[in-house]
C-alpha cells in the first residue's frame, strides 16, 4: 500500500528531483571528479588522486589568497556587524527623518555590484577622484590603492562593507523592533541603566538574529569576488588576490580545471568550517549570557 | 508604603491632551482602581505615576516627595504589566532577582526575598523555568512576584488580568485583593472592567475623556452616581436612562428642577402589586434567564426600552403586558445638558 502510493506520487515529485539533481548534485559530483583529475582544453583528463589538492594547498599564491580572504572576511564582517547593530539601535531609539534615512541606508543594496565598483573606482581614483581630492584638500592621506596593496585591501573592505551593510542592518533592525517595549519599561523600573538594559535585554534577545546575520555574511563574504576582480584584479602582483579570484585565474587564465575544482571544494569546506565554528561559539555565548 | 498625591496632573501628546487635569490623593495602604472606557487615559495616568511618561504639568508626590522628574527606578514603585513583560531569556528566579541585583542588594537578602515571594505566590516549583514554559496564570504570578520582592512603596497594575480566561481572571482577582490586604501596600489598579473595579477597590476612580467623573467607594458610586456617564458605566446590566420629555405617559411625580433624564437600576424594578411609587407599564419583549435572576426587556407604553432584573424565573412570558413599578427613592435624576446629578 505504502510503496504503491510512493510509486503513485513519484511522477509528481520527479520534476523537482530532476531539477535539483541536474543543477546541484550532478555538477557538484562532476567537480569532485574533476578535482581528482588533471585536465585542460584539448587534453583527456588523467586521474591524479589528491595531487590537485596538495598542489593548491602548497601553492604560495593560494596561501596568500586564503590569508587575504580570511582577513577581509573577519575584519569586514565584524565591522559591518558593529555598524549594523549601532545603526539598528539608533533607528529603533527614534531618529528624526527616520523614513528618509532608512531609504538612504538601504540604497546600496539596490545598486548592482558592478556599478557599485565602477562608482567607487571613480570616487577613489588616486588622481581625479572626488574623495581623493577631498582628502587632499583637508590635508589627509589618500588611498593609493592602485600601487599600495594594503591601501587596496582597505578599499576592498570599505566597499564590501558599504555594499552589504543594508543586509546586516535590516536583519538586526527587524529583530530589534520585535522586542516588546514593555520589557525596556520593566527594566527601567527594575533600575537597569541603558547599558545594563542593552546587555541584559537587547543583546540576548538579538542573539539569534546576530547569529543568522553573521552566518549569512560569513558565507557571502567568503566567496568575495566582484569587488576584488573589478577593482584590482588581484593586483598589484597578486597581492590582493582572494580565493575566488585565485579559482577564477586557475580555471580561466591557466585553464587548469583540476586545480580550480580542487580550490572550489577547499572553499566550500573552509567556509563551512568557519561558519560552523562561529555558530558554535555564538550559541554557547548566547546561552551563557542568558544564564549569567 | 506611602501615600500618593496627584495635583492637577496633565499630559499632552503633542497638542492632543490625553490626561486633562487629575486631582487625587491615595492614602497609605489604600487600593485605588482607575476604571473607564478604553482610551480615556487610565494607562497614561498610571505610566506618569510610574515615571514611564513625562508629566506635561501638575504635581506628583509619592510619600510626600515630588517625583515629577525622578527616574522610574528611584520612585520606589513596582509595576505589573498587561503582557507580563517578563524577561524571556531569564528563568523565573532571575526575573525576580533582576531588580534586586541592579540595586545592589546583598546575595543573602536577595535569596531570602525571592524565597518569600515565591512562597507567597506559590511559584516555587517553577523557579528554574523560563517564562515561555509557564501558563498565563503562572506568568501573571511571576509578574506579581517581581513586584513584591522589592517591597516597594506602591504597586501599579495596568490591566494585569485582561489576557487571562474568564475563570482564571476571577480567581486571580481574588488573589490580588487578598495579597494587597495582607501586604498593606498602596496600590493603583487600572481596568476597563467595571466588575473587576467594583470588587477590588477601596475607592473607585471613574475616568472619562482624560478627566475624573467620580471618586468614591464602589457602593457610593453604585448607589449615587454623580454623572450620567458614571450611571451608564457602572452596573451590569447598565442603568436604564430614560428621557423624561419623551416618557410623558409615566407619572414621575415631582422631579428636582433641571432634571431631563431619570435613571432606574434594573434591580430596582418591583414586580409586586403597586402600593405606592412610580408605575411602569409595558410589554415584555425578551426574557434572558441567567440562573438566579432574569433580565426582562420591557417596551414601555411611551416607546422606551427598559431592562428589569427580577429574581428567579420572572413569572411572565414574552408578549405579556405588565404593570410594574419602582420606589421613588430609587430614582436617579440628571440634568440632560450638563450630565450632572440633580437630586
Ligand atoms: N504614545 C502616545 N502618543 C500619542 N497618543 C497617545 C499615546 N499613548 C496614548 N495616546 C492617546 O492617549 C489617550 C489615552 O490613552 P491610554 O492612556 O492608553 O488609554 P486607556 O489606557 O484608558 O485605554 C488615547 O486617546 C490614546 O490614543
Ligand atoms: Mg490602557
Give ipTM to 2 decimals. 0.86
- Rounded CA Rg of chain A: 24
C-beta separation of B293 from B310 below 8 A: yes
Is there a domain that residue A22 lies in?
Answer: no
The answer to the question of residue A113 being in a domain is yes
pLDDT digits (tens, 9 = 90+) for A64-114: 998 999 899 889 999 999 999 999 999 998 888 888 998 988 888 888 888
Residue contact A185–B85, C-beta within 8 A? yes
Mutate to test the pocket of ligand 1, among B39, B79, B190 (most ligand atoms within 8 A of CB): B39
Between B83, B88, B102, which is nearest A190 by CB?
B102
Dig out the grid coordinates for B196 from the structure: 473587576
Mapping DSSP to helix (H, G, I), strand (E, B) and coil, where does residue B278 land?
strand
Residue A78 lies in a domain: yes
Q: Do the strands B203-208 and B31-35 form a parallel or antiparallel pair, or are they unpaired? A: parallel
Q: Whose CA is nearest to atom 7 of ligand 1?
A: B13
Please, is B147 exposed, middle or buried when counting C-beta atoms within 10 Å of its C-beta (0-12, 13-18, 19+)? buried
Task: Tell me: pLDDT of B75 over 80.
Answer: yes
Q: Give pLDDT tens digits for A53-63.
A: 888 888 898 89
Tell whether A201 is covered by a domain.
Answer: yes
Report the pLDDT averaged over residues B306-330: 89
Q: How much of chain B is in helix, strand and coil states, percent to nearest 5?
A: 30, 35, 40
Q: How many domains does chain A have?
A: 1
DSSP string, A255-279: --HHHHHHHHHHHHHHHHHHHHHHH
Rounded to the nearest integer, the mean pLDDT of chain B is 91
Backbone angles phi, psi at B339, to 5 degrees: 80, 5
pLDDT score of B123 more than 70: yes
Distance, CA of B236 to CA of B33 (rounded, Å):
18
Lowest-confidence segment of A58-67, A232-241, A246-255, B153-162 by average pLDDT? A232-241
Nearest chain A residue (CA) to B78: A189
Residues of A with a Cβ under 8 Å from any B Cβ are 180, 182-183, 185-192, 196, 200-201, 204-205, 289-290
* Domain assignment of residue A30, yes or no: no
> What CATH number should be reported for the domain holding residue A157?
1.10.3720.10
Shortest distance between the Cα of B184 and any Cα of chain A, in A, equals 21
Suggest the residue from A181, A185, A190 to mutate for an interface test with chain B (most B CBs closer than 10 A): A190
| CA torsion, ordered B115, B116, B121, B124, to nearest 10 deg | 20
pLDDT grade, residue A286 (50/70/90)? low
pLDDT of residue B264: 94
The mean of the pLDDT values for chain A is 86
Among B51, B81, B146, beta carbon nearest to A182: B81
Q: Residue B9 has what pLDDT?
A: 94
The pLDDT, as a whole number, for residue A2 is 58
Kindly report the protein residue whose alpha carbon is nearest to atom 12 of ligand 1.
B18
Is pLDDT at B188 greater than 70 in this prediction? yes
Q: Which residue has the higher pLDDT, B102 or A286?
A: B102
Please list the alpha-helical segments (H only) found in B192-313: 194-200, 218-223, 228-233
**pLDDT digit string, tens, across residues B14-67:** 999 999 999 999 999 999 999 999 999 999 999 999 999 999 999 999 998 999
Q: Find the helix or strand (DSSP H, E) in which B147 lies.
A: helix B136-148
Residue A25 lies in a domain: no
Contact state of B89 with A188 under an 8 Å Cβ cutoff:
no
Strands B259-264 and B240-243: what pairing?
antiparallel
B29 exposure class (CB count in 10 Å sphere: 0-12, 13-18, 19+): middle
Residue B333 has pLDDT above 70, yes or no: yes
When mean pLDDT is compared across B120-134, B214-228, B246-260, the lowest value belongs to B246-260
Report the residue from A182, A200, A205 with minimal CB separation from B83: A182
Out of A180, A189, A289, closest to residue B50 by CB: A189
What is the rounded CA–CA span in Å between residue B34 and residue B36? 7
pLDDT in tens, B263-293: 999 999 988 877 778 888 899 999 999 888 9
Other beta carbons less than 10 A from residue B16's beta carbon:
8
Looking from the CA of residue B38, the nearest atom of ligand 1 is: 23
Other CB atoms within 10 Å distance of the CB of residue B271 = 16
Residue A57 three-state SS: helix
Q: Across residues B308-319, what is the average pLDDT?
A: 87
B81–A188 CB contact, under 8 Å: no
- Which chain A residues have a beta carbon less than 8 Å from that of B87? 183, 186-187, 200-201
Helix, strand, or coil (residue B286): strand
The boundaries of the domain holding residue A131 are 50-287
Cis upstream peptide for B237 (omega within 30°): yes
Q: Taking residues B163-167, what's their average pLDDT? A: 88
Q: Is A124 helix (H, G, I), strand (E, B) or coil?
A: coil
Q: Is the pLDDT of residue A3 over 70?
A: no
What is the pLDDT confidence band of residue B114, given thresholds at 50, 70 and 90? Answer: very high
Which has the minimum average pLDDT: A68-82, A136-150, A166-180, B131-145? A136-150
Distance B190 CA to ligand 1 centre (A): 14
Quick one: which atom of ligand 1 is closest to the CA of B37?
22
Please say if the pLDDT value at position A177 is more than 90. Answer: yes
Tell me the pLDDT band of A292, cut-offs 50, 70 and 90. very low
Residue B14 alpha carbon, nearest atom of ligand 1? 4
Mutating to test ligand 1, I would choose from B20, B41, B188, B209 the residue with most ligand atoms within 8 A of its C-beta, which is B41
Amino acid at each position: 500500500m505504502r510503496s504503491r502510493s510512493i510509486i503513485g506520487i513519484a511522477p509528481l515529485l520527479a520534476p523537482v528531483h530532476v531539477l535539483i539533481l541536474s543543477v546541484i548534485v550532478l555538477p557538484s559530483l562532476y567537480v569532485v571528479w574533476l578535482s581528482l583529475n588533471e585536465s585542460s582544453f584539448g587534453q583527456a583528463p588523467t586521474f591524479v588522486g589528491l595531487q590537485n589538492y596538495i598542489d593548491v594547498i602548497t601553492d604560495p599564491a593560494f596561501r596568500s589568497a586564503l590569508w587575504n580572504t580570511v582577513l577581509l572576511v573577519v575584519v569586514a564582517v565584524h565591522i559591518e556587524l558593529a555598524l549594523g547593530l549601532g545603526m539598528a539601535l539608533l533607528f529603533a531609539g527614534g531618529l528624526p527623518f527616520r523614513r528618509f534615512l532608512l531609504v538612504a541606508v538601504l540604497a546600496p543594496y539596490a545598486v548592482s555590484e558592478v556599478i557599485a565598483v565602477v562608482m567607487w573606482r571613480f570616487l577613489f581614483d588616486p588622481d581625479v577622484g572626488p574623495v581623493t581630492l577631498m582628502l587632499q584638500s583637508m590635508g589627509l592621506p589618500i588611498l593609493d590603492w592602485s600601487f599600495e596593496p594594503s591601501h587596496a585591501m582597505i578599499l576592498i573592505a570599505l566597499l564590501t562593507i558599504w555594499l552589504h551593510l543594508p543586509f546586516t542592518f535590516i536583519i538586526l533592525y527587524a529583530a530589534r523592533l520585535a522586542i516588546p517595549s514593555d520589557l525596556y519599561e520593566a527594566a527601567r523600573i527594575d533600575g537597569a541603566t541603558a547599558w545594563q538594559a542593552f546587555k541584559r535585554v537587547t543583546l540576548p534577545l538579538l542573539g539569534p538574529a546576530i547569529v543568522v546575520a553573521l552566518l549569512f555574511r560569513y558565507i557571502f563574504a567568503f566567496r568575495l569576488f566582484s569587488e576584488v576582480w573589478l577593482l584590482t584584479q588581484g593586483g598589484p602582483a597578486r597581492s590582493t588576490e582572494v580565493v575566488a579570484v585565485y579559482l577564477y585565474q586557475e580555471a580561466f587564465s591557466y585553464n587548469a580545471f583540476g586545480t580550480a575544482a580542487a580550490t572550489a571544494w577547499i572553499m566550500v569546506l573552509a567556509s563551512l568550517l568557519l561558519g560552523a565554528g562561529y555558530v558554535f561559539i555564538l550559541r554557547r555565548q548566547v546561552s551563557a549570557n542568558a544564564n549569567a | 508604603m506611602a501615600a500618593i498625591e496627584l495635583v492637577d496632573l496633565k499630559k499632552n501628546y503633542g497638542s492632543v491632551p490625553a490626561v486633562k487635569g487629575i486631582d487625587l490623593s491615595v492614602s497609605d495602604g489604600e487600593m485605588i482602581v482607575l476604571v473607564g472606557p478604553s482610551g480615556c487615559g487610565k494607562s497614561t495616568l498610571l505610566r506618569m505615576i510610574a515615571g514611564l511618561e513625562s508629566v506635561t504639568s501638575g504635581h506628583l508626590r509619592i510619600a510626600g516627595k515630588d517625583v515629577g522628574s525622578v527616574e522610574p527606578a528611584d520612585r520606589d514603585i513596582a509595576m505589573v504589566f498587561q503582557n507580563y513583560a517578563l524577561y524571556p531569556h531569564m528563568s523565573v528566579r532571575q526575573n525576580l532577582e533582576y531588580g534586586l541585583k541592579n540595586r545592589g542588594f546583598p546575595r543573602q537578602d536577595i535569596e531570602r526575598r525571592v524565597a518569600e515571594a515565591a512562597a507567597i505566590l506559590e511559584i516555587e516549583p517553577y523557579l528554574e523555568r523560563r517564562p515561555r514554559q509557564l501558563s498565563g496564570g503562572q506568568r501573571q504570578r511571576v509578574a506579581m512576584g517581581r513586584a513584591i520582592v522589592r517591597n516597594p512603596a506602591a504597586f501599579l497594575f495596568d490591566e494585569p488580568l485582561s489576557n487571562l480566561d474568564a475563570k482564571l481572571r476571577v480567581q486571580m482577582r481574588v488573589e490580588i485583593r487578598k495579597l494587597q490586604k495582607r501586604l498593606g501596600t498602596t496600590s493603583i489598579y487600572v481596568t476597563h472592567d467595571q466588575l473587576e473595579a467594583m470588587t477590588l477597590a477601596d475607592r473607585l476612580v471613574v475616568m472619562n475623556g482624560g478627566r475624573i467623573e467620580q471618586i468614591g467607594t464602589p457602593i457610593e458610586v453604585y448607589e449615587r452616581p454623580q454623572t450620567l456617564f458614571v450611571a451608564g458605566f457602572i452596573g451590569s446590566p447598565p442603568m436604564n436612562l430614560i428621557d423624561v420629555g419623551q416618557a410623558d405617559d409615566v407619572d414621575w411625580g415631582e422631579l428636582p428642577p433641571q432634571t431631563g433624564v431619570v435613571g432606574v437600576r434594573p434591580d430596582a424594578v418591583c414586580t409586586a402589586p403597586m402600593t405606592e411609587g412610580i408605575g411602569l407599564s409595558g410589554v415584555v419583549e425578551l426574557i434572558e434567564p441567567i440562573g438566579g435572576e432574569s433580565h426582562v426587556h420591557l417596551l414601555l407604553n411611551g416607546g422606551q426600552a427598559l431592562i428589569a432584573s427580577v429574581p428567579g424565573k420572572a413569572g411572565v412570558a414574552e408578549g405579556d403586558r405588565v404593570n410594574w413599578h419602582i420606589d421613588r427613592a430609587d430614582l436617579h435624576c440628571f440634568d440632560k445638558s450638563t450630565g450632572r446629578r440633580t437630586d
